[in-house]
Amino acid sequence: MLKRFIVKKNERAALLRNGDFERILNPGRHYVFDPFGELSLTVWNTDEPMLDTDVVDYLRQNEPAEAERHFFCMELTEDEAGLRYENDVLVEILAPASRRFFWRGLTVQRLEKVDLRAGATLPADMVKRLLQPSLRGRPVLGLNGIFIAPVPAGHVGLLRIDGVQQPLLPPGVSAYWRFNRDLQWELVDTRWQALEVSGQEILTRDKVGLRINLAATWRFADVIAAFAKLAKPADHLYRELQFGLRAAVGTRNLDELLENKQLIDAVVGEHIAGKLAGFGLDIGSIGVKDIVLPGEMKAILAQVVEAGKAAEANVIRRREETAATRSLLNTAKVMEGNPVALRLKELETLERVAERIDRISVFGGLDQVLNGLVTLAK
């Protein structure tokens, strides 16, 4: 006739008669008169949230004192987020309109409500606690409701909330509520950056196809202005460099381009300066890395260069021969009326000859040598 029910210390139970709730049973042994077998028990673990909200709602409506004695109730409006603490340690972030019920027991529950209408920014001390959830002994639940924006050195953060541009985020870490708002985030590098326009096939004015590689350095001068006017500033700059390069090459002959490569740099620089004025971009330098000619054009140019150099060498050779002949004529005129000069020239010639032989035998004196009676023995 008596039915015994046992409730453990970390449990609470609901006594049901024919499936209908009667009362909450605390830990211990309970003996209940049940001659017709109408009683049953539903058991919950007090270490876990109370998921059977119908029982809690029934008690709050009909027995509020009993509900207050057993449960800690957490309810949020549509404009509130919640920070749930267990023994003063943050364990969960609750979304707006959440309803959570916990058994009162050894764990002390605490709810901190946050008015989402007051602003989207989280306090700095809370951000520090949320930065490394994996290093905490117990991870914080519901972190997907918070957006953490780390900004490294040399960068700024571009944040839009519900389509409205916010002030630029400096280097550091910031966090924002995702609830009830739309966040759009972009990290922007404010340092000097390199941009290369490679492999551009362009025809010159005289219909010669060139492959040109161009390089430029740039940075953001005004990030907000750049992104307000351009969806993708780097892509826009790349296209304008292409257009400027085609304008510089397509209107000039091959000889003009090869003689003065800096001409391309100047024309492209002027084009970019005019097209990007007021777009918040700074251009540091623009330069052609290389110009690649077609194979047949390389052979033709090599022949032209070879012929030009050969002609230059021939002119130089003729000029030297003319100068040598003129020098000989002047020497002959000097020696014609001056026997001493002629004698000195003969001695100079003899000296040069003597440098090329090992031994000289002279018979009849120096006069005989100069008159052709010289015996040279090697």
Distance, in Å, from the CA atom of 177 to the CA atom of 143, rounded to the nearest integer, reads 10
Distance, in Å, from the CA atom of 200 to the CA atom of 196, rounded to the nearest integer, reads 11
Q: 264-268, 309-313, 363-367 — which is least confidently predicted? A: 363-367
The pLDDT score that the predictor gives to residue 377 is 34
What are the start-end ranges of the E strands in the chain?
2-7, 11-17, 20-25, 28-33, 39-45, 71-75, 80-86, 89-94, 99-103, 109-115, 146-151, 155-161, 164-165, 172-177, 183-189, 193-203, 209-220, 281-292, 359-362, 374-377
* Whether 146 contacts 153, CB under 8 Å: no
The pLDDT score that the predictor gives to residue 310 is 64
- Concatenating the DSSP letter of every residue in 158-223 gives EEEETTEEPPPBPSEEEEEE-TTS-EEEEEEE-S-EEEEEEEEEEE-TTS-EEEEEEEEEEEES-H
| Cβ partners under 8 Å of residue 181, min gap 6 | 116, 120, 161, 162
Encode pLDDT of 1-55 as tens digits: 788 888 888 888 888 888 888 888 888 898 888 888 888 888 988 888 888 888 8
Q: Decide: helix, strand or coil at residue 110.
A: strand
Residue 373 in this model has a pLDDT that exceeds 50: no
The pLDDT score that the predictor gives to residue 115 is 93
Report residue 106's pLDDT band, with 50, 70 and 90 as the boundaries.
Answer: confident
- Parallel/antiparallel/unpaired status of strands 80-86 and 20-25: unpaired
The pLDDT score that the predictor gives to residue 79 is 94
Conformational region of residue 172, where left means phi above 0, alpha means psi within -120 to 50, and beta covers everything else: left
Report residue 342's pLDDT band, with 50, 70 and 90 as the boundaries.
Answer: low
Give the residue-averaged pLDDT of 290-309: 63
For tokens 């957006």, name the residue. Answer: 147
Residue 226 in this model has a pLDDT that exceeds 90: yes
pTM of the model: 0.66
* Whether 243 contacts 192, CB under 8 Å: no
Report residue 375's pLDDT band, with 50, 70 and 90 as the boundaries.
Answer: very low
Distance, in Å, from the CA atom of 349 to the CA atom of 13, rounded to the nearest integer, reads 134
The pLDDT score that the predictor gives to residue 12 is 87
Q: 4-8, 82-86, 266-270, 296-300 — which is least confidently predicted? A: 296-300
Superfamily of domain covering 193-293: Band 7 domain (3.30.479.30)
**Mean of pLDDT over the chain:** 83
CATH 3.30.479.30 residue window(s) in the chain: 193-293
Encode pLDDT of 232-291 as tens digits: 999 999 999 999 988 888 888 877 877 777 888 888 999 998 888 889 999 999 988 888
Encode pLDDT of 131-167 as tens digits: 766 666 677 888 889 999 999 999 999 999 998 999 9
Q: Percentage of residues in the chain with pLDDT exceeding 90?
A: 29
Report residue 187's pLDDT band, with 50, 70 and 90 as the boundaries.
Answer: very high
Q: 36-45, 184-193, 329-338 — which is least confidently predicted? A: 329-338
Edge-first strand listing for the sheet containing 80-86: 89-94, 80-86, 109-115
Residue 378 in this model has a pLDDT that exceeds 50: no
Question: Number of H helices and number of E strands within the chain?
Answer: 10, 20
Give the residue-averaged pLDDT of 69-89: 91
| Cβ partners under 8 Å of residue 214, min gap 6 | 196, 197, 198, 200, 241, 245, 264, 268, 286, 287, 288, 289
